[in-house]
Amino acid sequence: MQNSEAMALSAALLATAGELTQRINEGVVARGFEGVRPAHGFAFTRLAPDGATVTDLAAHLGVTKQAASQLVEELVRKGYVERRPHPDDARARLVVLTELGWACTRAAEEAAADAVRGWSELLGESEMRALYTRLVSIAPYGPIKPAW
């Protein structure tokens, strides 16, 4: 693959990821979850299923601990997360999703399914399965991190 083709492929993948992120966020908002933004969704992926410390969240998001603390404060105010004592470290606090946070996560899953459904209509079911298989072989399932 030529450099220009590699760059075009990179741009297409990044544009697709950006569009998908936007459509998921719009779908979550349309389902009644006000005041959420993509950064919240990336945090939710780290907090589900067992919670995380602010330090863990900062590392996941690629931000400072201070920025992660501010994000957690915002999510606490909005009712999406709460702090609990850490079961293994008395000095640490565990940030976990509340019922509202879990409901928002389910709404994001529904919005993602809606977005991907359009791809399936465009490509067909067989091509969608092939696309999934190929993408997973390149980037195996793992933490969903933002690309700031």
The per-residue pLDDT for range 71-107, each reduced to its tens digit, is 999 999 999 999 999 888 888 899 999 999 999 999 9
- Cβ count within 10 A of residue 115: 17
The per-residue pLDDT for range 3-62, each reduced to its tens digit, is 899 999 999 988 998 999 999 999 999 999 989 999 899 999 999 889 999 999 999 898
**97 by DSSP, 3-state: which?**
strand
What's the CA gap between 88 and 56, in Å, rounded? 14
Q: What pLDDT does residue 1 have? A: 80
What's the CA gap between 52 and 70, in Å, rounded? 15
Q: What pLDDT does residue 143 have? A: 64
Q: Which residues of 5-31 are buried (b: 16+ CB within 10 A; e: fewer)?
A: eeeeeeeeeeeeeeeebebbbebbeee
Backbone angles phi, psi at 146, to 5 degrees: -70, 155
Q: Mean pLDDT across the chain, nearest whole number?
A: 91
Backbone angles phi, psi at 94, to 5 degrees: -100, 130
pTM: 0.85
